[in-house]
């Protein structure tokens, strides 16, 4: 190993910035009462799904491999669901390279889902869930958002959080964003 490279000031600056970022993320997430995701070694693979989107195209969990996925399960009418949909649309735009957001409408007709998605300006994919999906993902209380890492592991499942939703989702995604192949 070349020790001269390790003693270069830019290496130390980069390490300090990364360390501060991780510390700030952990501190901030603890202040927001964000549940820590399941560690990678303990996480189970997320249940596979194959559901139609609002245009009738089949969408699978595997379609989002390589990205962190926030899988938002909702129903209509539901005020907390609408609130989360609006925040997730904004949040999705802030991290397009590393993050995918997908909505799953349960107990909602396709027409109801289209109207709601259109009225909110939601551009992320929205799928039409069924009873099998609801059972696999244990989606009894809605809304519920699942955090799936870029390796397809289910890392967290949370009902509607209180407080600043944007900051909540930001802290949650940051808590796993820096992981590499674990």
Per-residue pLDDT tens digits for 55-70: 999 999 999 988 999 9
At residue 28, does pLDDT exceed 50? Answer: no
User: CA 90 to CA 113: how far, in whole Å?
Assistant: 19
At residue 169, does pLDDT exceed 90? Answer: no
Contact 99, 70 (CB under 8 A): yes
Beta bridge partners of 148: 69, 154
Taking residues 74-81, report their average pLDDT.
91
User: CA 91 to CA 112: how far, in whole Å?
Assistant: 24
At residue 23, does pLDDT exceed 80? Answer: no
Q: pLDDT digits over 102-120, tens only? A: 999 999 999 999 999 999 9
At residue 2, does pLDDT exceed 70? Answer: no
User: CA 55 to CA 109: how far, in whole Å?
Assistant: 13
Beta bridge partners of 53: 127
Residue 106 — φ and ψ, nearest 5°?
Answer: -115, 145
At residue 3, does pLDDT exceed 60? Answer: no
**Where residue 180 falls among pLDDT bands split at 50, 70, 90?**
low
**Where residue 152 falls among pLDDT bands split at 50, 70, 90?**
very high
Domains and CATH numbers, the chain: 32-177 (3.40.30.10)
Beta-strand pair 44-45/50-52: unpaired
State the Cα angle at 99 between 181 and 91, rounded to 5°: 145
Joined tokens for residue 14 = 């980069």
Q: How much is the pLDDT for 30? A: 44
- Which residue, 164, 84, 80, 168, is CA-closest to 124? 84
Q: How much is the pLDDT for 164? A: 79
User: CA 63 to CA 56: how far, in whole Å?
Assistant: 16
The whole-model pTM stands at: 0.78
Which are the contacts of 17, defined by CB distance < 8 A and separation ≥ 6?
none
């Amino acid at each position: 190993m070349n020790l001269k490279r390790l003693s270069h000031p830019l290496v130390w600056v980069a390490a300090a910035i990364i360390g501060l970022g991780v510390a700030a993320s952990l501190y901030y997430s603890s202040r927001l009462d964000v549940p820590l995701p399941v560690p990678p070694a303990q996480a189970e693979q997320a249940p596979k799904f194959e559901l139609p989107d609002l245009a009738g195209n089949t969408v699978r969990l595997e379609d989002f491999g390589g990205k962190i996925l926030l899988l938002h399960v909702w129903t209509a009418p539901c005020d907390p669901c609408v609130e989360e949909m609006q925040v997730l649309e904004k949040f999705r735009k802030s991290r397009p390279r590393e993050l995918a957001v997908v909505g799953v409408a349960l107990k909602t007709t396709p027409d109801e889902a289209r109207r709601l998605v259109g009225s909110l300006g939601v551009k992320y994919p929205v799928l039409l869930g069924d009873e099998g999906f609801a059972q696999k993902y244990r989606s009894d209380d809605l809304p519920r958002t699942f955090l799936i890492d870029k390796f397809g592991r289910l890392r967290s499942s949370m009902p509607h959080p209180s407080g600043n939703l944007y900051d909540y989702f930001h802290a949650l995604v940051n808590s796993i964003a820096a992981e590499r192949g674990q």
